[in-house]
Structure 1
């Protein structure tokens, strides 16, 4: 039996592919696969990560049998474990890109919101539809959507349970880039590879500064900025890029090493 989630590498780019046909549902096996693969990525971080899906849909969300089988006495520990998956993904030091070519519901959408960047087709549909089982998103999607689009939009999307197209979420600032359906996976791969071949330490620094801002506002980001900038100054990539800029101008083609 094939694993529901595959981890492959294309040089500096790691690729996680949901592949549990026909709907890429989140059941215990899928969650366990996410835990295992994220542990591997945390131990050996790539220079960028692309999350994508195989098949007609990205994911139809959580297998409803999970709700039927969960003992209410175990619910807090169960959902704390799933939330930890979101947190580990979010904490990876490299740029992370979620590519949504079609329907992306509940747990998959929540993991997309934990990534740094989301790319999609304009017609891809997204939803946090837990209201259909009288539930609320429990992998951190509500608060991460509020970070991106504001609390009113987060309440709207979750409380209505409606589906929203990629083009609409791009207007909200939730989706970062739209690609045509024809050639979508190639375009998403190229987008992620551009990050993977970039100045990796500088990208990690950007993530650290944004996280500090989200945790404590401008003062918290200011507190870590000088030491973070000093770390970047010491990298080979920074020194090489400065030298190339001075010699060749802003359109220089420095090959970054990730260090």
Structure 2
């Protein structure tokens, strides 16, 4: 990566860590989104079995690039996104459906589109000083990339409407209590803990994790019955996986919890 690239990539064994360094505030727009998608695909294609998305700057993300809204008002934008040439909704869907686990590691301020990016990940961990909020109402907007519906999925309609309509910034502990984020840790151990969680996920049964993500996505968007109806098909790769054979063999020989999975 060059110094001017919006994403810095590091590899830690089976885990890829993607650090957003799109100065000054990791503003969400085509530049950052296209770079992030390229890096996610590269990580998958080169064998990573989990990914951490974090910020290499003081804040996770201050939200969308406001220049995009001007373009939209002038009729130059995409109806499904705040600016032209990209779709925020399609972006979140691709992130959500990536067949390997994603951990969002949130530091500093995480607002607007930054919240939506985090919500597309499988696990959200935040530093205890993080301030997180869907603040688009201050601009006369609401979350544009699908944040409202994803908040409803995680914390229910009442809290989702509160977040998007009041436009407040919440402390991480409050959002952990609500269930929007998974875990809050002291700021000085955020990176270490996020990597440890990603490593735990990476050493798990990757094929089963991919199926879990698909089942969860269908259940959240189409309902439990739809997920039930597709379970058999979605589980077929698990039954054909080396990981299942390794897990069963290890259980018989050594008991539970000692299997070493190859991720295939």
Shared fold (TM-score, shorter chain, > 0.5)? yes
Select the residue among 211, 221, 235 that pairs with 2:227: 221
Select the residue among 93, 101, 108 that pairs with 1:87: 93
Select the residue among 57, 60, 65 that pairs with 2:59: 57
Residue of structure 1 in register with 2:38 after alignment: 36
1:5-44 alignment runs, 5 A limit: 5-41=7-43
1:34–1:85 Cα contact (<8 Å) kept: no
- Residue 257 in structure 1 maps to residue 262 in structure 2: yes
- Residue 207 in structure 1 maps to residue 213 in structure 2: yes
- Residue 98 in structure 1 maps to residue 100 in structure 2: no
Count of aligned pairs between the two proteins: 258
How big is the shift at 1:152? Answer: 1.2
The 3 A distance-change label for structure 1 pair 176 and 247 is same
1:45–1:93 Cα contact (<8 Å) kept: no
Larger deviation: 37-46 or 17-26?
37-46
Residue of structure 1 in register with 2:184 after alignment: 178
How big is the shift at 1:35? Answer: 4.0
Select the residue among 237, 240, 248 that pairs with 2:246: 240
Instruction: Provide, for residues 127-171 of structure 1, a one-character-per-residue CA deviation record: whole Å limited to 9, x for no partner.
Output: 111112111111111111111111111110010000111111111
Residue of structure 1 in register with 2:137 after alignment: 131
Distance in 2 separating the partners of 1:243 and 1:158: 49
Distance in 2 separating the partners of 1:139 and 1:176: 21
Structure 1 unaligned regions, length at least 5: none
Instruction: Provide, for residues 93-145 of structure 1, a one-character-per-residue CA deviation record: whole Å limited to 9, x for no partner.
Output: 11111110221111111010111111112331111111121111111111111
1:24–1:58 Cα contact (<8 Å) kept: yes
Residue of structure 2 in register with 1:162 after alignment: 168
- Provide runs of 4+ in structure 1 moved above 4 Å: 41-45
Q: Secondary structure at the match of 2:163?
A: helix
Residue of structure 1 in register with 2:121 after alignment: 115
- Residue 47 in structure 1 maps to residue 49 in structure 2: yes
Q: Secondary structure at the match of 2:142?
A: coil
2:44–2:100 Cα contact (<8 Å) kept: no
TM-score, structure 2 as length reference: 0.89
TM-score, structure 1 as length reference: 0.91
Distance in 2 separating the partners of 1:201 and 1:194: 15
How big is the shift at 1:249? Answer: 1.5
Residue of structure 1 in register with 2:76 after alignment: 74
Distance in 2 separating the partners of 1:27 and 1:213: 29
Distance in 2 separating the partners of 1:137 and 1:227: 34
Instruction: Provide, for residues 55-89 of structure 1, a one-character-per-residue CA deviation record: whole Å limited to 9, x for no partner.
Output: 21111112323323444423334616222211111
Structure 2 unaligned regions, length at least 5: none
